[in-house]
Structure 1
Amino acid sequence: MSLLFIGIDPNTGDQESPTVWADLEEKELVFQGWKPSPELEAECAATEIPGHAVGIPDTEAVIRIPARMVGVIREACDAVERATQLP
């Protein structure tokens, strides 16, 4: 796995650290974020979306990322997009 560290929440303290990486080999974004409240997770799990099963599979998770990290997420998207253009 070739993880490229992109950035961390600029307001991070010693205990919290939402983080974004780009996995250039798999061409995926990797996020570390806050766990949602049980109420938010239940709302996400109950939301019906056409073509999508209700619930959250065991292999997936709901996380929270602060809006102030949009620039970091864009940078990660750009890195993964560049990796998909390589031969």
Structure 2
Amino acid sequence: MSLRFIGIDPNTGDGESPTVWVDQDNGEIVIQGWKPSPELETECAAFEVPGHAVGIPEREQVVRVPARMAQMLREACDVVDRAHIS
């Protein structure tokens, strides 16, 4: 796996470190974030939209990242998009 570091929460000095990478081999965005509260996870698991099964599959997880990292997520999306265009 070839990870490209995109960014880390600018408030990481408080002992937390939500982080964004791009897996360049697989064209995937990798996110380290906070575990959701049980209430948020329950709400996400109960959410119903067409084509989405109710619940969270065993190999998936809900992850929270601060909104202040939005630009890093956009950058990660751009990196993945550019890799698929080339």
Does TM-score exceed 0.5, indicating one fold?
Answer: yes
The range that moved more, 12-21 or 29-38, is 12-21
Matches within 5 A, 1:6-21: 6-21=6-21
Counterpart in 1 of 2:60? 60
Q: Which runs of 5+ in 2 are unaligned?
A: none
- Within the alignment, does 1:22 sit opposite 2:22 as a pair? yes
- TM-score normalised by the chain length of structure 1: 0.94
Matches within 5 A, 1:13-52: 13-52=13-52
Provide the aligned C-alpha RMSD in A.
0.9
- TM-score normalised by the chain length of structure 2: 0.95
Q: CA deviation at 1:15?
A: 2.2
Counterpart in 2 of 1:85? 85
What's the % identity of the aligned pairs? Answer: 70
> What whole-Å deviation, never above 9, does each CA across 1:22-76 have from its counterpart, x for those lacking one?
1111001000000000000000001111111100001100010111001111111
Q: Which structure shows the higher helix fraction?
A: 2
